[in-house]
Homo-oligomer: A and B are copies of this chain.
Amino acid sequence: MKKTLTHVVPIRWDDRKSEIVWLDNAQIPWKETYISSRDLDRLIKAIKGLEIRGAPILGEAGAYGTAMIANNSSNSAETILKDVMRLGSRLADARPTAVNLSWGVHRIQDSVRRAVENGEKPVNIKELAISEAKKVQEENVSATHKIGEQGKRLIHDGDVLVTVCNAGTLACDGLGTSTAPMRAAWADGIRFRVLVTYTAPLYQGARLTAWELNKDGIPVNVITDNMAGHLMREEKATAVWAGADRILGNKGAESGTVYNKIGTYGLALMADSLRREGTGVNMYVAAPTSTIDPRSTVQDVKIEQRKPKEVEYLFNGVRIVPEGVGVLNPAFDRTPPNLVSAIVTELGIAKQPYNASIPALLAKEGSMVKL
Question: Using a CB–CB distance below 8 Å, which chain A residues touch chain B?
Answer: 28-30, 164, 195, 197-201, 203, 206-207, 210-211, 214, 219-231, 233-234, 262-263, 265-270, 272-274, 276, 303, 311-312, 314-328, 330, 333-334, 339
Contacts and interface: CB of A to CB of B under 8 A. Distances in A.
List 9 tightest A-B contacts by C-beta distance, closest first: A317-B317, A229-B266, A226-B263, A29-B322, A230-B333, A200-B224, A225-B225, A225-B226, A269-B273
Contacts of A234: 303, 330
Given A195-B328, A231-B330, A317 B316 contact: yes
A370 to B, nearest CB: 31
A203 B320 CA distance: 7
Given A29-B323, A230-B333, A269-B269, 16 more contacts: A29-B325, A198-B225, A198-B226, A207-B322, A221-B325, A226-B266, A227-B328, A230-B330, A230-B334, A266-B266, A266-B270, A269-B273, A273-B339, A316-B317, A317-B317, A317-B318
Contact of A311 (B195, B222, B316, B328): B222
User: Considering residues A214, A228, A267, A328, which has the most beta carbons from chain B within 10 angstroms of its beta carbon?
Assistant: A328
Given A315-B318, A334-B230, A326 B164 contact: no
B222 A327 contact: yes
A200 B214 contact: no
A263 B303 CA distance: 24
A257 B199 CA distance: 28
Contacts of A312: 222
Contact of A262 (B210, B226, B268, B276): B226
A14 to B, nearest CB: 26
Contacts of A330: 227, 230-231, 234
A222 B321 contact: yes
A328 B226 contact: no
Contacts of A29: 321-323, 325
A29 to B, nearest CB: 4
Contacts of A199: 226
Contacts of A201: 224
A299 to B, nearest CB: 14
A1 B42 CA distance: 67
B230 A262 contact: yes
B224 A262 contact: yes
Contacts of A200: 198, 200, 224-226
Nearest to A317: B317
Contact of A210 (B164, B321, B339): B321
Nearest to A235: B328
Contact of A211 (B231, B233, B276, B325): B325
Nearest to A229: B266
Contacts of A211: 322, 325
Given A222-B325, A321-B206, A229 B316 contact: no
A232 to B, nearest CB: 8
Contacts of A265: 229-230, 233
Contact of A320 (B206, B274, B320, B328): B206
